[in-house]
């Protein structure tokens, strides 16, 4: 798969640090991340739970919950730094330019609102003066593109299946025709059949609405199906970035290699599942040097002392001293 548009960057993240001060110390949830997003692509953001994926996604739209805060860095969207935006600017940005699909639609939808009222409230927040009929007409058009009958506008979230509620969340994200869509583990609550249908729908909508997508997931199969490029996170840092096919065929970072090796292969007669030794790092007190070195099978002396920069090799980047 390749990007549909030109190679202009819609988003650039530069030296981003996000921290959560707590009683026992400070959680370094995002620790010096640099990332670029090309207009029109699907970027898969993958890694184990607790590696910083969701925190990074929430940072882009400035929805971090206290005590979380951005302590340094830039998030440049179309030439403007989101980190420096005032509340009014952020309100205009969210939904209309950058939209987000959250992990659990049932907790994101108001159980006392009909689906129509959800759409109408979203539109009226961003378009002052829009009439009820115009809002309903636009909601019906979006539902039609999602394969949902317009009559279901009058239903409540609890009357719909998990897959249907997730489609409603997509519709609410797309109603303002945003440029960038951040999908945070959107298939976690879905069974495998509905999950496959959802990913197909997301791919169709990407082309229909000319979207750029960040797909946050721990499921490498989802990224293989939909992603153009992959960013692998570990311990709040970027381990590897590259074209999806290149990373699947030739992973460079030992962490990426371990993730891919741990996926069961039904074509092989596997007596035992492969696992990575150890556990993700304590982000209050991360290890010095390379954050992955306590679990790395190729650890060297320098890994204990110095944090590796990003090295370019084979068309993608790896933050690993193996490639200095």
Sorted by where each starts, the structural domains of the chain and their CATH numbers stand as: 9-90+215-323 (3.40.50.300)
The whole-number pLDDT of residue 8 equals: 86
Which distant-in-sequence residues (6+ apart) come within 8 Å of 71 by Cβ?
17, 18, 19
The whole-number pLDDT of residue 6 equals: 46
Which distant-in-sequence residues (6+ apart) come within 8 Å of 298 by Cβ?
254, 322
Q: Distance between CA 64 and CA 55 in Å, rounded? A: 7
The whole-number pLDDT of residue 146 equals: 86
The whole-number pLDDT of residue 119 equals: 93
Residue 118 token pair: 């959800």
The whole-number pLDDT of residue 268 equals: 67
β-strand partners of 230:
44, 242
> Length of the chain in residues, anyone?
324
The whole-number pLDDT of residue 27 equals: 96
Q: Distance between CA 277 and CA 258 in Å, rounded? A: 9
Residues of the chain with pLDDT under 50: 1-6
The whole-number pLDDT of residue 270 equals: 66
Q: Give burial (CB, 10 Å; 0-12/13-18/19+) of 123.
A: buried
254: closest CA among 301, 293, 227, 310?
293
Residue 241 token pair: 């970035």
| Distance (Å) of CA 4 to CA 37, 41, 208, 249 | 13, 7, 11, 23
The whole-number pLDDT of residue 18 equals: 98
């Amino acid at each position: 798969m390749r990007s549909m548009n030109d190679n202009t960057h819609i988003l650039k993240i530069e030296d981003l640090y996000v921290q959560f001060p707590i009683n026992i110390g400070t959680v370094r949830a995002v620790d010096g991340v640099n990332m670029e997003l090309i207009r029109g692509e699907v970027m898969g953001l993958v890694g184990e739970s607790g590696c910083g994926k969701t925190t990074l996604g929430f940072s882009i739209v400035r929805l971090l919950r206290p005590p979380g805060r951005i302590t340094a860095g830039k998030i440049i969207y179309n030439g403007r730094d989101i980190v420096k935006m005032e509340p009014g600017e952020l309100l205009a940005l969210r939904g209309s330019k950058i939209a987000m699909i959250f992990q659990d639609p049932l907790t994101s939808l108001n159980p006392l609102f009909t689906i129509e009222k959800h759409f109408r409230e979203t539109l009226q927040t961003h378009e002052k003066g829009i009439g009820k009929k115009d809002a309903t007409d636009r909601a019906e058009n979006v539902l039609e593109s999602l394969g949902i009958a317009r009559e279901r506008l009058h239903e409540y979230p609890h009357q719909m299946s998990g897959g249907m509620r997730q489609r409603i969340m997509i519709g609410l994200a797309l109603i303002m025709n945003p440029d960038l869509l951040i999908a945070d583990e959107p298939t976690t609550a879905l069974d495998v059949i509905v999950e496959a249908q959802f990913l197909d729908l997301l791919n169709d909508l990407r082309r229909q609405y000319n979207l750029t997508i960040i797909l946050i997931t721990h499921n490498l199969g989802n990224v293989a199906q939909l992603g153009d490029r992959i960013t692998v996170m570990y311990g709040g840092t970027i381990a590897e970035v590259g074209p999806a096919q290149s990373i699947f065929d030739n992973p460079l970072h030992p962490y990426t290699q371990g993730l891919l090796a741990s996926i069961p292969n039904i074509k092989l007669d596997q007596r035992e599942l492969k696992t990575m030794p150890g556990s993700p790092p304590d982000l209050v007190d991360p290890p010095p040097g390379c954050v992955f070195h306590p679990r790395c099978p190729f650890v060297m002396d320098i890994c204990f002392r110095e944090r590796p920069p990003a090295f370019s090799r084979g068309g993608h980047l790896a933050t690993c001293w193996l490639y200095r």
